Amino acid sequence: MNGPYAEVIVEVKSASVDRPFHYGIPSLLAERVHVGTRVLVPFGPRRVEGYIVGFSDTTDAPEKTKPLLEVLDDEPPLTPDLVELAGFLSERYLSTKAAAVQALLPSGMRAKATTFLRIQNQPEGVYLPGSWEYELLQELYQSPNKTKEQLVSEHPEWRPVIRSWVEEGVLQELHGVKHGIQAKTMTFLSTPLTDSELQAALDELSSRAKKQRELLTFLFEAGEALLMKDVFAETGASSATLKPLLDKGFVVKEEREVNRDPYADKQFEKSEPLPLTPMQDNACRTIKNAVDSGAAQTILLQGVTGSGKTEVYLQAIAACVAQGRQAIMLVPEIALTPQMVEQFKKRFGDEVAVLHSRLSTGEKYDEWRRIRHGEVNIVVGARSAIFAPFRSIGLMIIDEEHETSYKQDDHPKYLAREVAMYRARQHKATVVLGSATPSLETRWWAHQGIVQRVEMPERVRGQKLPKVRVVDMRHELQSGNRSMFSVALKTGIEERLERGEQIILFLNRRGFATFVLCRSCGYVARCRDCEIPLTYHKARGLEQLRCHYCGYAERMPETCPDCQGDHVRHFGTGTQRVEEELHKVFPDAGVIRMDVDTTSGKDSHAVLLQRFRQGEAQILLGTQMIAKGLDFPNVTLVGVISAETSLYLPDFRAAERTFQLLTQVAGRAGRHELPGEVVVQSYNPQHYAIQFAKNQEYEKFFEHEVRHRYSLNNPPFYELTSFTSVNEDEMKALHIARALEDLLRRALDGRDDVIILGTSPAPLARLQGKYRFNVVLKYKKFKPVSRPIREAYHALQGEAQKLGGYLTIDVNAQMIL
């Protein structure tokens, strides 16, 4: 500590208090406060939680400065470099500082503001045992730390008593915080007796107390403290057996902190590093050299599916840990399958912590503590694991780096890749971005030499990439096939069913986007200016097509503008409909459907995959969640129902997404002995994203797409930031968006490296009954525009709230929704 004042970020949700506040430091607490310490502070009439982000010698109003009340943890939850990172997050993504701090911590950490009841005066009446008043008093004496909320929820009948006693001054309401999740403790038993004491003790116990003698002997022989519940299970003893032993002091009972280990009941066989192929060896060496260099670096590991990237990750991490540094391995949430975790647990055992959304809050908190206390050197996790509080990071790996799930959709709306690069500079660490289909940005930075690129263009076992067949659905229609399965796909499925092999059917569907396509010629309605596919809207009986970038609108055409046919339809098929159709066409085949509806349960995702793996069904039907990370030896056919559903999202990244998805899906087939086949159905088979994906030609796709992005001023040449104004009242939402657009235009007028796309209805134009309007800003460099952006945003945020709505911002938006 230096300086008599602590600068504290308080946990208050309001942009107007988004700055550090000064507090005095009582001498009793002086030794316990550091940068990153969590404290309790007075804030107006309340007591709130906060984090110390610095110290200072002066304060604006010394006479008004209040002292800190309490230090909440023995060890500060945040390290100084994480406090600095929080600063970066709030600067870069324009979130409040409090939200940035919260993003760094496990969810259970957050303490809640709450109310406690204290007995201030004895009540006047005399209350008989069993009466509510009597019971309430008992409870207040016995559990003074129960909150008012807890008491009332456990005993709603006490509510009136509490109310009148508070009014009469019998009870006082105290405002404080209740800690979120606590470390878990469990009861342990041991015996302090020596050899001779044991003999004496056994003699002392009555000969009829057989159980007691057994229990005591058992504990003595164990020679260490054992979990009480295990002891009971082993010896058949109970609390009744235990009590006399405790009373005599023969056995000691204590509470100890234990970790909730989500993988405690699993045994992992140790796996040994595989001898690397020359390509893997080259990649691994490059990464190790970068880690050793002691300078921040980024490497793109571009390896086709099945090229053995995971083994490279494992060995590079092992080398990093051997040097005494730590490693973070990020995996997209849906790819964080039990198999993936298993690979890490098998190689590194207890040295790995695992963080993903399916863990309970308590489990997450304990995994986080193992990281914070230096008990592990490796973490495998989804996006937020990038904030792991390690002391000295050497390596951060982001697998499938192009995945959209690496962008957080809540404030701070960070991109894991950018956070990794920031932390790399702090720790002089290496970032590895792994993918078969890198994001255009990453590949571009490699092209520019800013990122080092390593390729692994072949599969480990030399298996061929599967044959991809693209079926023209327009021809199917012309030859009279109106079903959603082409002849090729249908025959393919039949063959597999006969041979007892398995099939994956893939449907890429993003609920909201409904594009318009002519089923005869493949024409797709697009914006004249942006080339973005138009989105179908139906409001007040009027069928309209709108551009979600610039706001352009036109009427839904009755006939196709290209072929004059009358097969123009708006499009979007759900998994459920495909499933129904499958049952009709293949009545004997078992189908497992995986989509958001069937995988909402805690383990349902893993359970469904396990059932498929065990051959319970021959067909797996699903959305993007089945596109990656799965490895099924018996799958020999992969079908894509309609390539266009991702191609015609109103998104300039649609071609990139389609290419990535098709490549990834194709990678699912033929990874093992059996050769694989892929059938992709499309109304636009000649589209470059489909053609290049067919032959898995990433580099050609990249070159084509880069030119396209360049001509339309899109990433990587410009960065996009989108503002969304939301309100139940359409005019109010529109008003705020227009005002914002005005402010931005005035502030940025005359800059030739900035483009403002005017107010337009968001692709999700109405969500939960609220209207949404977007303003999108494109710029070459963030720094010079960050101030005008911040000012405009802050200026209108309050306005939006006054009108009963809100305004959000997404810096470096990956998707405009």
| Nearest distance, CB of residue 652 and Zn ion, angstroms | 11
Among 40, 69, 550, 756, binds Zn ion (CB under 5 A): 550
547 labeled binding residue: yes
* 310 near ligand ADP, rule: CB under 6 A: yes
* Beta strand spans in 507-631 (E): 516-518, 535-539, 542-546, 553-555, 568-570, 591-594, 619-622
| Nearest distance, CB of residue 521 and Zn ion, angstroms | 22
284 labeled binding residue: no
| Nearest distance, CB of residue 676 and ligand ADP, angstroms | 14
Number of CB atoms found within 10 A of residue 540's CB: 5
547 binds, among Zn ion, ligand ADP, none (CB under 5 to 8 A by kind): Zn ion
- Nearest CA to 626 among 612, 642, 645? 612
- Nearest CA to 42 among 64, 16, 18? 64
- Smaller CB distance to ligand ADP: residue 7 or 401? 401
* 306 near ligand ADP, rule: CB under 6 A: yes
Binding mask 250-289 for ligand ADP (x = CB under 6 A): ------------------------xxxx--x---------
Secondary structure (3-state) at 129: coil
| Nearest distance, CB of residue 506 and ligand ADP, angstroms | 17
3-state helix, strand, coil in the chain (%, to 5): 40, 25, 40
Secondary structure (3-state) at 431: strand
508 binds, among Zn ion, ligand ADP, none (CB under 5 to 8 A by kind): none
| Nearest distance, CB of residue 383 and ligand ADP, angstroms | 19
* 688 near Zn ion, rule: CB under 5 A: no
| Nearest distance, CB of residue 529 and Zn ion, angstroms | 4
Secondary structure (3-state) at 702: helix
* 241 near ligand ADP, rule: CB under 6 A: no
| Nearest distance, CB of residue 310 and ligand ADP, angstroms | 3
* 553 near Zn ion, rule: CB under 5 A: no
* 755 near Zn ion, rule: CB under 5 A: no
For the chain, give the number of residues: 817
- Residue 413 CA to its chain's centroid (Å): 11
Binding mask 494-533 for Zn ion (x = CB under 5 A): ---------------------------------x-xx---
Retrieve residue 62's tokens.
């010394």
Please check whether residue 99 is in contact with residue 90, taking contact to mean a CB–CB distance below 8 angstroms: yes
Distance CA(573)–CA(575), nearest Å, equals: 7
Residues 6+ apart with CB under 8 A from 73: 37, 38
| Nearest distance, CB of residue 709 and Zn ion, angstroms | 16
Distance CA(543)–CA(536), nearest Å, equals: 7
Please check whether residue 300 is in contact with residue 309, taking contact to mean a CB–CB distance below 8 angstroms: no
Distance CA(125)–CA(229), nearest Å, equals: 44
Q: Can you give 309-321 as a three-state secondary structure string?
A: HHHHHHHHHHHHH
* 460 near ligand ADP, rule: CB under 6 A: yes
Distance CA(217)–CA(338), nearest Å, equals: 41
Residue 372 to residues 75, 263, 281, 369, 379, Cα–Cα distance (Å): 9, 19, 32, 5, 11
- Smaller CB distance to Zn ion: residue 701 or 773? 773
| Nearest distance, CB of residue 663 and ligand ADP, angstroms | 11
Binding window for ligand ADP (CB under 6 A); candidates: 76-84, 300-308, 499-507, 795-803:
300-308
Sheet holding 252-258, edge to edge: 226-227, 184-190, 252-258
Number of residues that bind ligand ADP (CB under 6 A): 14
Per CB under 6 A, contacts with ligand ADP among 596-635 are none
* 200 near ligand ADP, rule: CB under 6 A: no
* 303 near ligand ADP, rule: CB under 6 A: yes
Distance CA(469)–CA(485), nearest Å, equals: 14
- Smaller CB distance to ligand ADP: residue 310 or 442? 310
563 labeled binding residue: yes
Distance CA(326)–CA(374), nearest Å, equals: 9
Question: Which residue in the block uniquely carries the two structure tokens 């880690």?
Answer: 291
Number of CB atoms found within 10 A of residue 467's CB: 15
Phi, psi angle pair for 735, to nearest 5°: -60, -45
657 binds, among ligand ADP, Zn ion, none (CB under 5 to 8 A by kind): none
560 labeled binding residue: yes
| Nearest distance, CB of residue 757 and Zn ion, angstroms | 8
Among 76, 308, 650, 763, binds ligand ADP (CB under 6 A): 308
- Smaller CB distance to Zn ion: residue 276 or 712? 712
Among 297, 307, 636, 724, binds ligand ADP (CB under 6 A): 307
* 305 near ligand ADP, rule: CB under 6 A: yes
Among 11, 18, 311, 741, binds ligand ADP (CB under 6 A): 311
* 436 near Zn ion, rule: CB under 5 A: no
| Nearest distance, CB of residue 734 and ligand ADP, angstroms | 47
- Nearest CA to 305 among 704, 661, 687? 661
Number of residues that bind Zn ion (CB under 5 A): 7
Sheet holding 502-506, edge to edge: 467-472, 677-682, 635-640, 502-506, 619-622, 591-594
* 79 near ligand ADP, rule: CB under 6 A: no
- Nearest CA to 296 among 420, 452, 423, 424? 424
| Nearest distance, CB of residue 284 and ligand ADP, angstroms | 10
Retrieve residue 782's tokens.
């963030």
- Smaller CB distance to ligand ADP: residue 502 or 642? 502
81 binds, among Zn ion, ligand ADP, none (CB under 5 to 8 A by kind): none
702 binds, among ligand ADP, Zn ion, none (CB under 5 to 8 A by kind): none
User: Contact positions toward ligand ADP, by CB under 6 A?
Assistant: 274-277, 280, 303, 305-311, 460
Q: Which residues bind Zn ion (CB under 5 A)?
A: 527, 529-530, 547, 549-550, 552
State the binding site for Zn(2+): 518, 521, 527, 530, 547, 550, 560, 563
- Which residues make up each annotated binding site? 518, 521, 527, 530, 547, 550, 560, 563
